[in-house]
Structure 1
Amino acid sequence: MEEVSSSLPVIDLREFEDLDNSVKAYQKLRETCEEWGCFRIINHPIPLELMSEMKAIVRSLLDLPAKIKNQNTNDTVGRGYVAPSPANPLYESLGLYDFGSTEAVRSFCDQLNASPHQREIIEKYAGAIHELIKNIQQKLAKSMGLEAYSFKGHWPCQFKIIKYSFNPQQVGSLGVPTHTDNGFLTILQDDENVGGLEVMNKNGEFVPIDPSPGTFLVNLGDIAKAWSNGRLCNVMHRVLCKEATIRISIASFLLGPKDEVVEAPQEFVDSEHPRLYAPFNHDDYWKERLSKNLRAGEVLELLRVNI
Structure 2
Amino acid sequence: MEKTQSIPTIDFSDFPGQYEKLRKASEEWGCFRVVNHKIPLELMQEMKKIVRSLLDLPIEIKKNNTDVIAGSGYWAPSTKNPLYEALGLYDMASSQAVHDFCSQLEASPSQRDTIEKYAQAINEMIMDIGGKIAESMGLNGDYCKDWPCQFRINKYNFTPEFIGTTGVQIHTDSGFLTILQDDENVGGLEVDKSGEFVPVDPLPGSLLVNLGDMAHVWSNGRLHTLRHRVQCKEAKIRVSIATFLLGPKDATVEPPPELVDSDHPRLYKSFTYEEYRELRISTKLQAGEALALVRTSA
Q: Give yes or no for the alignment of 1:192 onto 2:191.
A: no
**Which residue does 1:150 correspond to in 2?**
142
1:81-134 Cα deviation digits (max 9, x unpaired):
000122211000001001111110000001001000110000000000010000
> 5+ residue gaps in structure 1?
17-21
Report the CA distance shift for 1:270/1:186 in structure 2 as closer, same or farther (over 3 A). same
Residue 290 of structure 1 and its aligned partner are, at CA, apart by 1.1
The answer to whether the aligner puts 1:33 opposite 2:26 as a matched pair is yes
Query: What does residue 128 of structure 2 align with?
Result: 135
Please say if 1:229 is aligned against 2:215.
no
Offset of 1:280 from its aligned partner? Answer: 0.7
The residue number in structure 2 matching 1:94 is: 87
Structure 1, 231-240 or 3-12: larger mean CA deviation? 3-12
**Per-residue deviation at 1:291?**
1.5
State TM-score, norm by structure 1: 0.94
Of 154, 157, 164 in structure 2, the residue corresponding to residue 162 of structure 1 is: 154
Q: Take 1:293 and 1:97, find their aligned partners in 2: how far apart are those partners? A: 22
Structure 2 residue aligned with 1:67: 60
Letter in 2 for 1:62: L
Task: Show CA shifts across 1:11-70 (max 9, x none).
Answer: 001110xxxxx2x41111001100000000000000110000000000000000000000
Is 2:4–2:201's contact at 8 Å kept on the other side of the alignment?
Answer: no
SS at match of 1:105: helix
Determine if contact 2:253/2:272 at 8 Å carries over to the other structure.
Answer: yes
TM-score by length of 2: 0.97
Aligned residues of 2:61 and 2:104 also touching (Cα < 8 A): yes
Q: State which drifts further: 130-139 or 81-90.
A: 81-90
Residue of structure 1 in register with 2:245 after alignment: 254
Q: Judge conservation of contact 1:153–1:258 (CA < 8 Å) in 2.
A: no
Equivalent residue for 1:12? 11
The runs of 5 or more residues in structure 2 that have no matched partner are: none
Distance across 2 between alignment mates of 1:306 and 1:273: 15
CA distance in 1 between partners of 2:137 and 2:83 (Å):
39
Which residue number corresponds to residue 271 of structure 2?
280
How far residue 4 of structure 1 moved from its aligned partner, in angstroms, is 5.9
Are residues 149 and 211 of structure 1, via their aligned partners in 2, closer, same or farther at CA, if it must alter by over 3 Å?
closer
Structure 1 residue identity aligned to 2:151: F
1:111-159 CA-to-partner distances (Å, cap 9, x unmatched) read 001000110000000000010000001111100011x343167311000
* Aligned mate of 2:229, from 221, 238, 242: 238
Write the letter of the residue equivalent to 1:126.
A
Q: SS of 2:113's equivalent? A: helix
**Distance across 2 between alignment mates of 1:192 and 1:179:** 22
Aligned counterpart, 2:71: 78
Structure 1 partner of 2:198: 207
Shift in Å, 1:262: 0.3
Report percent identity of matched pairs.
61
In the aligned structure 2, how far is the partner of 1:149 from the partner of 1:11?
18
Q: CA deviation at 1:248?
A: 0.1
